[in-house]
Amino acid sequence: MISNPLRDPRDRRLPRVPEPCALVVFGITGDLARKKLLPAVYDLANRGLLPTNFALLGFARRDWGDEDFAELARDAARKAARTPWREEVWERLAGSVRFVQGSFDDDNAFDQLAATLGELEGTHGIGGNAAFYLSIPPAMFPIVLKQMQRTGMADSTPDRWRRVVVEKPFGTDLASSRELNALVDSVFTADDVFRIDHYLGKETVQNLMALRFANTLFEPVWNGHHVDSVQITMAEDVGIGGRAGFYEETGAARDVLQNHLLQLLALTAMEEPVEFSAEEIRTEKLKVLRAISLPEDLGTFAVRGQYEQGWLAGQRASGYRQEEGVDPESTTETYAAVRLGVETRRWAGVPFYLRTGKRLPRRVTEIALVFKQAPHLPFAATDTEELGNNQLVVRVQPDEGVTLKFGSKVPGSVMEVRDVSMDFLYGEQFTEASPEAYERLLLDVLLGDATLFPRNAEVEASWAVIDPLEEFWAGTTPHPYRAGEWGPRAADEMLAAEGRRWRRP
Ligand code: BG6
């Protein structure tokens, strides 16, 4: 075979280590930084995946010195790191931790930050490369981005790269996300912007591509000729924790349907990319997102819910309206389900049912392809009473793996066919533990590999799906469901209207 000169010769099986660089985190005292980012930095260091010349910078208002930040980072890493604790790894990292104190409107503080980066070039040989992680409320983006522009910190040159990492939510609707994108793009060049959707960093989500495009078994049936419907579920048993302020303004559709669930849909429905590169994968996902159609009858096929007091795992769980910081008459949804179509030759006519909710019976994220029934069964009707549709289920979390459900003869002298399952479990087949999503994504940012990051056209196409839903729901009250139940009855009715049922994962 003659190799294609356009193909990237880098071998992804080899561990990739970034060039010398600094990681600057805004919002270091926030939940995300403490629970995910700082532990991920330690885990990367522990796995030998950070460059020798590396520096970690925190920026915050607190009156702190480098040691205080180092202590916070150490505590956070010790609490949440996935790899074993090794003091010598931490000590090495701690030597390159810096803190810059200031508020976002403080020019001096940003001058100081720029100066510190300059100094680190001399002392730590970071080569001028830096990634800026905006782990801050989106309302703060403009001011921080403008400061970076003013100080020249955002400018990549042929000798150094500067990148920015933006956390979701990317706006609150299409118009605001366009504004936000325009703002970010006016400061950083498009290739230097990394929008994080942490679901794309999950191992099983990436395995979806391996499953589909590395095998011959699945792709021939991965279409509307064989698939009856697709169910994508992201269920959480937790409530909103201490995030009432954020959640009240956001709701389930904006929080996770707009991003995590639509990205899962895009990966499930997309065509094979020409190659496994950022450009090609994003192109295929975008085509799907643009091909999504909403049901005409939103009253039946789009359901929002809100949890009421109930029981979960033997414990009493309070209702959403009773959570601290929530308006006692709040109409914010904690559950959302919708039936979407994908108007392509492969998927025309196949409903994609998406649902997500808080305080559901258990934490589970899965993508289930439900196949059509056999066109003809040469058995008596009673022989197949317990035979359902064949199903292929990709379990994103927990118990990462893939399950195939199909009919099998029940042992014995009579003919009876019943559903059985065949399971592949990551934990059983591989000894290596999957890296945490943030670990993988942070590494990719430092490597400049944008494969697992949605580009702004995808974000905008996703809002174009969510906006009409939000408009339809505005001013309505969500359907109630009890904490510990699988969502409101209206969501069951939505599937029943088409002769289907939600899976009970
Ligand atoms: C976040 C949402 O993006 O994803 C949270 O803002 C949600 O509301 C979280 O709880 C779930 O992430 P994971 O990785 O625990 O499934």
In order, the DSSP letters of 129-193 are -EEEEE-S-GGGHHHHHHHHHHHTTT--BTTB-EEEEEESP--SSHHHHHHHHHHHHHHS-GGGE
Ligand 1 atom nearest the C-alpha of 437 is: 14
pLDDT at position 174 is 97
How many Å apart are CA 69 and CA 74, to the nearest integer?
8
Ligand 1 atom nearest the C-alpha of 238 is: 10
Q: Whose CA is nearest to atom 13 of ligand 1?
A: 199
How many Å apart are CA 15 and CA 217, to the nearest integer?
29
Distance 168 CA to ligand 1 centre (A): 11
Handedness of CA 329, 330, 331, 335 (dihedral sign): negative
pLDDT at position 10 is 55
pLDDT at position 2 is 55
Residue 111 annotated as lining a ligand binding site: no
pLDDT at position 217 is 95
How do the pLDDT tens digits run along the chain, 505 residues long? 555 555 454 556 667 899 999 999 999 988 899 999 999 999 999 999 999 999 999 999 999 999 999 999 999 999 999 999 999 999 999 999 999 999 999 999 999 999 999 999 999 999 999 999 999 988 899 999 999 999 999 999 999 999 999 988 888 999 999 999 999 999 999 999 999 999 999 988 889 999 999 999 999 999 999 999 999 999 999 999 888 988 999 999 999 999 999 999 999 999 999 998 889 999 999 999 999 999 999 999 999 999 999 999 899 999 999 999 999 999 999 999 999 999 999 999 999 999 999 999 999 999 999 999 998 988 888 888 888 999 999 999 898 999 999 999 999 988 889 999 999 998 888 888 788 899 999 999 999 999 999 999 999 999 999 999 999 999 999 999 999 999 999 999 999 999 999 998 8
Q: Is residue 23 packed enough to be buried (19+ CB in 10 Å), middle (13-18) or exposed (0-12)? A: buried
Mutation pick for ligand 1 pocket among 254, 256, 260, 438 (CB with most ligand atoms within 8 Å): 256
How many Å apart are CA 64 and CA 495, to the nearest integer?
55
Residue 79 annotated as lining a ligand binding site: no
Q: What residues line ligand 1, using a CB cutoff of 6 Å?
A: 198, 236, 255-256
Q: Whose CA is nearest to atom 4 of ligand 1?
A: 256
Ligand 1 atom nearest the C-alpha of 259 is: 3
Q: Whose CA is nearest to atom 6 of ligand 1?
A: 255
Say if residues 454 and 195 touch (Cβ distance below 8 Å). yes
SS3 content of the chain, % helix, strand, coil (to 5): 40, 20, 40
Provide the CATH topology of domain 16-167.
Rossmann fold (3.40.50)
Class (C level, CATH) for 201-496: alpha beta
* Domain ranges, ordered by start, for the chain: 16-167, 201-496
Three-class secondary structure of residue 330 per DSSP: coil
Mutation pick for ligand 1 pocket among 260, 261, 397, 438 (CB with most ligand atoms within 8 Å): 260
pLDDT at position 79 is 95
The vertex-489 CA angle with 487 and 492, nearest 5°, equals: 85
Smallest CA-to-CA distance from 272 within 205, 194, 346, 201 is with 346
Residue 358 annotated as lining a ligand binding site: yes
pLDDT at position 399 is 87
Say if residues 487 and 341 touch (Cβ distance below 8 Å). no
pLDDT at position 237 is 97
Q: Catalytic: which of 124, 225, 226, 260?
A: 260
Q: Is 260 a catalytic residue?
A: yes
